[in-house]
A = this chain, B = another copy of it.
Amino acid sequence: MTVTEIDELVKRILRGEVRLHEVEKHVKDSNVATRVRRRAIEEISHLDLSPLDDNVVDFNDVVGRNCENTIGCVKVPMGIAGPLKVRGDHASGEYLIPLATTEGALVASVNRGASAITESGGAVVKVLDDKITRAPVFKTPSLEKAVEFIEWVEDNFGKIKEVFESTTRHGRLLRIRPYVVGRTVFLRFEASSGDAMGMNMIVKATDEVSRFIHENLPWVENVSLSGNLCTDKKAAAINWVLGRGKSVIAEAVVSRETVEKKLKTTPDRIVEVVLRKLYLGSGRAGVLGGFNAHVANVIAALFLATGQDLAQVVDSSHCITYCEELDDGDLYISITLPTLEVGTVGGGTSLPTQRKALEIIGVAGGGEPPGTNALKFAEIVAATVLAGELSLLSALAAHHLADAHMRLGRKK
């Protein structure tokens, strides 16, 4: 496309003849379309939008996959924490952790926690469960028909599984949990999804199954492909109780010496903060899954750096953090994440910078066998959360939080 043609298109937008989301109808190349939209907005808003420009993102890969009506890129600083020693079933060794954030002190804090854990022998991590879920909602004529429906689903699980899996390469249907409210029926599909987080897969598969159900039971009406019992991107008891994504636990024993020298406090001071802040405080606040210090900070920074779905920070950050002083005076610390939704393929993971972040951790792309890369990543995420909790709890116990915020979170 010539410069003149671009200019002409921008003018047509300004004249209202072409709308911003219609640019791709006139230019095939999404990089050019992105520039055209940016130029048009510059004219409309009298702004210089050149910072949004990006020289590594090919918008032809982006549009139709990750974003529409593109006008450029937002750029968020990425810092590095670690090395962090992890002793999981899939991750074993020391890892560098990229974190993208605009919150001063966060990277430094995780880095300090990682250092304390690593010098104490590392974080032990276990993945206890792994599944993605989606729950369409159906309307039936009556309670009796609702019960007939869920019995039919149970009886035909094999056939449903076949239909489900015909739409996906790596997805495997594990279980269907029915929920009935009067004559309304929700089916919560639980599936494994290889190295992908799995929402795209399961949307397609449950849609196909819904069609299959309707063919066989015409009196069952699919009201909505999602009935919010999934539950995606909301704080929900069902996820907290049944898990979603990876259910992961990490622990470490940090020597008293490390606590005192590196973290500038003592195990019993940390235990005191855990007790009054995480249990009495969170309990009194009526949290759902929020018995922790700042897990959402670490999850958000890791998710952003590695191309995860940022809206899933809502559910993925549910966590109970626990500390006790052991008989020998060392500090025991664990974090329990029942609903960590992560993947190493799909979503934003293939974007250039996000891919690099995954490569730094060593978990980019699909694993061999499929699923193992996502499991390895989940273990490293959990260990990083552990580091973040250890460091902030120590800072609170040592009354250093405000100081750190002042020093690192604000420009003088």
Q: A236 in the interface, Cβ–Cβ < 8 Å?
A: yes
Which residue of chain B is the closest to A243 with respect to CB atoms?
A: B179
Residue from B57, B69, B232 within 8 A of A79 (CB atoms): B69
Is A360 touching B41 in the complex (CB atoms < 8 A)? Answer: yes
Q: Which 5 A-B pairs have the closest CB atoms?
A: A237-B286, A102-B348, A182-B334, A234-B290, A235-B235
Q: A12 in the interface, Cβ–Cβ < 8 Å?
A: no
Q: A193 in the interface, Cβ–Cβ < 8 Å?
A: no
Q: A37 in the interface, Cβ–Cβ < 8 Å?
A: yes
Chain B min CB distance to A201 (Å) = 10
Chain A contact residues: over half helix, strand or loop, or mixed?
Answer: mixed
Q: A217 in the interface, Cβ–Cβ < 8 Å?
A: no
Flag the segment in A3-11, A313-321, A368-376 that touches B.
A313-321
Bound state CA distance, A226 and B397, in angstroms?
A: 10
Give the residues in chain B near A189, CB-CB below 8 Å. Answer: none
Give the interface size bracket for A toward B. 35 or more
Is A73 touching B75 in the complex (CB atoms < 8 A)? Answer: yes
Is B282 touching A228 in the complex (CB atoms < 8 A)? Answer: yes
Give the residues in chain B near A75, CB-CB below 8 Å. Answer: 54, 56-57, 73-75, 351-353
Residue-wise, chain A 327-364 has the 8 Å CB interface mask toward B (1 for contact) of: 00000101110000000000110011111110110100
Which residue of chain B is the closest to A355 with respect to CB atoms?
A: B51
Give the residues in chain B near A234, CB-CB below 8 Å. Answer: 282, 285, 287, 289-290, 292, 296, 317
Residue from B207, B226, B409 within 8 A of A200 (CB atoms): B409
Q: A169 in the interface, Cβ–Cβ < 8 Å?
A: no
Which residue of chain B is the closest to A336 with respect to CB atoms?
A: B181
- 15 pairs, A vs B, C-beta closer than 8 Å: A20-B80, A51-B353, A74-B305, A77-B351, A142-B251, A182-B336, A200-B410, A222-B399, A226-B401, A231-B282, A231-B290, A234-B289, A235-B235, A283-B283, A299-B311
Is A227 touching B277 in the complex (CB atoms < 8 A)? Answer: yes
Give the residues in chain B near A79, CB-CB below 8 Å. Answer: 67-71
